[in-house]
A = this chain, B = another copy of it.
Amino acid sequence: MANSYAILKERYAKILNKYLQEKNEIGLYHAQQFSKKVLEDQISPEEMVSIHAETLTKLCPDLPAELTDSFDFLMEIMVAYGMAYREHQSLIDKQK
């Protein structure tokens, strides 16, 4: 379990890094493919932002503190999206 999560984060680091260097449509295509995986693995929106923040900080260690702080703020907002999604999922399951 923990291993597959680590692999997911490694994959994200690889594709984000490539995108930051090349900044092309292929990179965005890889993002789309990755997004299918995170939904399959039920990674919440706030967890996705956390993965992004952690990855970006490792790839670009000189980024200012405001950036990390701003991600904490964004994560707090994404929690609501995750909760709304899980509530809807639960409603659907009940109706089955």
Using a CB–CB distance below 8 Å, which chain A residues touch chain B?
16, 19-20, 23, 27-28, 31-32, 34-36, 38-39, 45, 48-49, 52, 56, 59-60, 63-64, 66-67, 69-70, 72-74, 76-81, 84-85, 88-89, 91-92, 95
Asked whether, in the complex, the Cβ of A48 is within 8 Å of the Cβ of B91, the reply is no
User: Can you sample 23 A-B contacts with CB below 8 Å?
Assistant: A16-B70, A16-B73, A19-B70, A19-B73, A20-B70, A28-B73, A31-B76, A32-B76, A32-B80, A35-B78, A38-B80, A39-B80, A39-B84, A48-B77, A48-B78, A52-B73, A56-B70, A59-B66, A60-B64, A60-B67, A63-B66, A85-B88, A91-B92
